[in-house]
Every structure is written in C-alpha cells, then in structure tokens.
Structure 1
Amino acid sequence: MSVAKKVWRSEAFRVAVTLALVFLAVQGAWMLMKAVLRTEVPLAYVPSRSMEPTLRVGDLVVIEGVKPQEISLGDILVFYVPGHYGEDSYRIVHRVVTVVHMDGTLGFETKGDNNPSSDLYRWGYIPASHVIGVVRYRIPYVGYLAIKLREPLGILIVALLILIFVVTEFTGSNKEKRKEKRLDKGFLIGFI
C-alpha cells in the first residue's frame, strides 16, 4: 500500500481533517455573524451583575452594530473603555441614560440597571468610537462556558481534554493495528 493511501486511511489523519473542518465551520459561522450583524464582535457574555435583572451573569448577548445616530435612550450598549481592568478590549454591557453631542460626534452616558449611579464619574461620556453595538437578544446561561474558559482552571481542563483525546486516538489506533496483526497471524495459522 502506498504511503499516501496509508496516511489517508489512518485514524489520526481522519481526526485531523475532522478537527480542521470543525474549525473552518466555526470560523465561517463567526464571519457570517460579523457580516450580518455589522460588528466585529457579534457575541459577548455578561461578566457581572451590573445589569440585573435584565441581563444576568453568564448570559450570552447578540450584538448588532449600529450607526451612532441610531442609538437611543434605553438601548443596551456593548462598549469598551481602554485600560479598564488592565485590558484595552474589556467589554462593558450597560444601558444608555443620556446622549450628548461632543466635538462633532456623539457621546453616551451609561449605567448598569443594578448600579446606584451612572458611569459618568468613572469613564465620562463613552465616545461613539468605543461602541461595539447594541444588544438585540439574550441567550441565558450560554456565556458561562466562556467565563469559565477564561479562568486558569478552565484553560487547564481544556488542555487536559485535548491531551487525553490525542493520546487516546494514537494509542487506540496502535492497539487496533496490533490486534489486526494477531488476527491475521491466527488466520494464517489456521490454514497451515
């Protein structure tokens, strides 16, 4: 049997192709959501209790990119504040309580539904350039997975699962080959 046929028929190759196809499908779905929802970040999870009872920790929100002029009082924005929690892309999910014109563009005062006061004292007005989009839908609990995967234990668990999967695939296929060889020898011995 040629090397190409052996590779094609190997379990490891089939697993690699399957994983590659799953990866491409997920990337394709992500790109499609970005195009349809007109935003670079079409999904985000709710990381805190600041928007309760409207949104809860672990909810996944679907975000639509909109023009700043389309943002109204009461809309729930997803935006970032550079340097917040040491990250330049940390996403915040809060409601618009005031819209202002500032230096030829729009700015937004926001507030978490569960917070006693607005975010104006912390961040000032949020410039339109920091707005990712407006929350359109909420999917309960699905965001917990993303929250847990960001924690060290979650990363460790995923790494261990991948390692176990890879080791099992390779040791399992080797055991099957050894078993097939024993069966072939037994088959030949029966005819001798």
Structure 2
Amino acid sequence: MANPAPSYPPSDDLQPPPKPTADSWVDAAKTIGFSVLLALGIRTFIAEPRYIPSESMLPTLRINDRLIIDKVTYHFNPLTRGDIVVFHPPESSGQEFAREAFIKRVIGLPGEIVEVRNSRVYVNGVPLTENYLEATPDYQWGPQVVPENSYLVLGDNRNDSYDGHYWGFVPKDRIIGRAAVRFWPLRRLGGLDHPVYAQP
C-alpha cells in the first residue's frame, strides 16, 4: 500500500495578499506626497534638467541636448570665465525675453574691461584664446566695464546668438545655475569641458 503524500504547512508566499486598509492608503498617499515634494524641492533649489532649444551655443551644445543645471555651488564658488550658465536675461533684452531662460558662456567678470574687435574678445586689453567657437565674431563691441555683481555672457555661436553684445550684462541675481552635466544624447554623456584661459 502506497504511503500517503506528506502534508506540508501552507507557505507564506502562497497566501493571498492582504486587502488594503484605510491606513495603508494613507501611508501610500504620504509616501507619494513626500516624493513629489522632495522632487520639487530638488528641482527648485538644487538641480534641474534643461534642454537646448537653439543653435546659439554651437558647437558646444546642440539643439535638444539635455543638461543638468547645478543651482547651488555657484553661490559658494564664484562663477569663472568659461562657465556655461542658465539665466533670465535683463529687462533690456525685451519684456518677452526677460521671462525666458537663456544659456550662454561667461566671458566678462565684474570689474573687467571687455571689448570685441578684429574678430577677437579682449579682456583688460588681452585677447582671449577661444577654441570652442563656431566662428569668430564679425562685430565690434565695447570697450565696456562689467558692473559689480554682473557678468558679460556670450554664445559660442557668436554671430547667431542673442546675448550680452545686444542687451548688456546679466546681474548675478538673475542667474539660475551653472550647466554641470550633459545627460542626453547618451553618446555625448558627460561633463562640459571648461576652457583654460591665460590671465588677462
């Protein structure tokens, strides 16, 4: 006579899931709410993604490149020449533009004398070596002194960029953050090169 099949206690993983209770719905709502607030806080105060809508920063940045903008460190480490920044342009750029976010490269620092002539940018009389340009500038500008707590910003695509040579200087309080990392497209994933300049 065959032995009867052994009997095992029911396994926990075969039990039906417990029915959600009012408390579990409250906990889930709290978790989701906290996650949303955390994401909004990070985006508002720490970092946020941005995409490139124009060709003004060619060849460095292309249309639809996706970047992470660092909104914290420039408050503690001053902006330097060559930083790529996102900002709201001054009112002098036009009311419709003043509400938009632009992205350009920092060229002139507070107190410096900047001039564009003979297809070069001069800072305190010394020409900058700019190997990141789409083309050298075909316009004249300045000389002008960069005001305190302000910056001169220009696009890398010098002759096709609505930037500081049209509307002047960007006050520090209109800067949103510094471009830190390109995360899309994946084939160009990584940090943005920072040029090394000779001291003007």
TM-score (norm 2): 0.50
**Cα distance, 1:120 vs. partner?**
2.7
Query: Do 2:104 and 2:155's aligned partners in 1 also have CA atoms closer than 8 Å?
Result: yes
Kindly report the root-mean-square deviation, in angstroms, between the aligned alpha carbons of the 2 structures: 3.7
Is the 1:82–1:90 contact (alpha carbons within 8 Å) kept by the matching residues of 2? Answer: no
Q: d(CA) in 2 for partners of 1:24 and 1:32?
A: 12
Once superposed, which parts of structure 1, at least 4 consecutive aligned residues long, lie more than 4 Å away?
Answer: 17-24, 82-85
Larger proportion of strand: 2
Number of equivalenced pairs: 129
Structure 1 unaligned residues grouped into runs of 5+: 1-7, 143-192
Question: In percent, how many aligned pairs have the same letter?
Answer: 26
Change (3 A) 1:26 1:90: same
- 1:111 alignment counterpart: 154
Query: Would you tell me which structure has more helix in proportion to its own residues?
Result: 1
Q: Per the alignment, do residues 100 and 117 of structure 1 end up closer, same or farther by CA in structure 2, a change over 3 Å counting?
A: farther
Asked whether the 8 Å contact 2:110–2:146 carries over to 1, the reply is no
TM-score normalised to structure 1 length: 0.52
The residue number in structure 1 matching 2:192 is: none
The structure-2 alpha-carbon separation of the partners of 1:122 and 1:103, relative to structure 1 and needing over 3 Å to count, comes to closer
For residues 28 and 21 of structure 1, the distance between their equivalents in structure 2, rounded to whole angstroms, comes to 10
- 1:46 is aligned to 52
1:23 deviates by 6.9
1:27-83 per-position Cα deviation (integer Å, ceiling 9, x unaligned): 422313544x3xxx6222211111122111112221123128610000001110255
Structure 1 position 26, deviation (Å): 4.0
Residues 68 and 128, structure 1, Cα contact 8 Å, conserved in 2:
no
Shift of 1:124: 0.4
Kindly report which structure 2 residues correspond to 1:119-130, keeping only aligned pairs within 5 A, or say none: 119-130=163-174
